[in-house]
Amino acid sequence: METSEKKKRIFSGIQPSGELTLGSYMGAIKNWAAMQDEYDCLYCIVDMHAITVRQNPADLRRRTIAQLAQYIACGLDPEKNILFIQSHVPQHAELSWVLGCYTQFGELSRMTQFKQKSQQHADNITAGLFTYPVLMAADILLYQADAVPVGEDQKQHVELCRDIAQRFNGVYGDVFTLPESFIPKLGARVMSLGNPMNKMSKSDPEGCVYLLDKPEDIRRKFKRAVTDSETAVRFDPEHKPGVSNLLTIYCAATGKDIAEAEAEFAGQGYGVFKPAVADAVVELARPIREETERLLADKGYLESVYRQGAQRAQSLAVRTLSKVYRKLDFVVPK
């Protein structure tokens, strides 16, 4: 336990808004699995964040459990990592309220994701959608995280988290660790197969590959992937975004670097290249899909994982929240 205490701590979470995508795996979860021996890691299924937009309750529950199974199938060991469901640790909501009182309205108004989502859900712009970054700050600060693996689109939220923590620390002393964003270099931003100018997203099903897709569906999606009128397999994001995206995916799936991949497909054209990328992804996803199916059939095991995870997370969360309440001089019951 002594060596574990000296490790840096990482926190991250993904909303249970559907099946995990290839982009989520390559940009986040693959890197999480690689870090589990080097860091103390907490990985959270953020079901409270998910309800900022309307959810079907039964679907939300099913997706939450399925996502936990996929985390484990992707290589996250429940013994090495704390895997838990956000709503199982009430300190997230409690700290969020406190931090909301140290967050400026103008700061939240400038959040890019709020602007985008309020346009997408114009009929349901809730206070929760607006204060989402405060809850995210609570998620991170509650565990005194040193680093937060995020995509580029979430970096702004981590910066706000740091600002809130510095503001609170400035008044009450060193209460919170200031987290750093950790953005993996390769695969951090997998783009849509249908529109390589956009990030791979669940809102674009045909441009999005899911880890639980059947092999024939994966191959069909890659066959239709947008490229260009040339035939050269060359990494050039500005002029050849579709081909560059496929090269990024191929390298992330096989472990090869860009130069190796370019050399492998030199002079062969897209008719050879696209099926090869599809095959690499099929083989990457196959063991994940099979293990997920096995885990989902063992409900007792999954329940034991999220119960134990919540207990371990809560033991850390209570320490931070108690410290915050003492600094605020709340009357805490004995």
Strands 40-45 and 9-14, by their bridges, are: parallel
Q: Is 80 a catalytic residue?
A: no
Higher-pLDDT residue of 124 and 234 is 234
Q: Which strands form 147-149's sheet, in the order they lie side by side?
A: 81-85, 40-45, 9-14, 147-149, 180-182
Apex CA 190: angle with CA 214 and CA 192, to 5°? 70
Residue 334, domain member (yes or no): no
Residue 258: the pLDDT is 94
Q: pLDDT at residue 184 above 50? A: yes
Into how many domains does the chain fold? 2
- Domain of 263, CATH number, reads 1.10.240.10
How much is the pTM? 0.86
Q: Does residue 26 contact residue 75 with C-beta atoms inside 8 Å?
A: no
- CA quadruple 191, 194, 195, 201: dihedral positive or negative? negative
Q: Is 202 a catalytic residue?
A: yes
Residue 6: the pLDDT is 76
Residue 53, domain member (yes or no): yes
- Domain of 15, CATH number, reads 3.40.50.620
Q: Point out the least confidently predicted range of 30-39, 137-146, 164-173.
A: 30-39
Residue count of the chain: 334
Phi, psi angle pair for 214, to nearest 5°: -70, 155
Catalytic residue among 30, 117, 221, 274: 117
Q: pLDDT at residue 88 above 70? A: yes
In terms of domains, do 158 and 266 share one? no
Q: Is 30 a catalytic residue?
A: no
Model confidence at 320, in pLDDT bands (50, 70, 90)? very high
Q: Point out the least confidently predicted range of 34-38, 39-43, 216-220, 239-243.
A: 34-38
Q: pLDDT at residue 112 above 90? A: no
Residue 1: the pLDDT is 39
Tokens, residue 25: 């795996």
Distance (Å, whole) CA 102 – CA 117 = 24
Q: pLDDT at residue 239 above 60? A: yes
Tokens, residue 160: 């706000």
In terms of domains, do 15 and 33 share one? yes
Residue 243, domain member (yes or no): yes
Catalytic residue among 7, 8, 155, 202: 202
Model confidence at 204, in pLDDT bands (50, 70, 90)? confident
Catalytic residue among 199, 221, 240, 274: 199
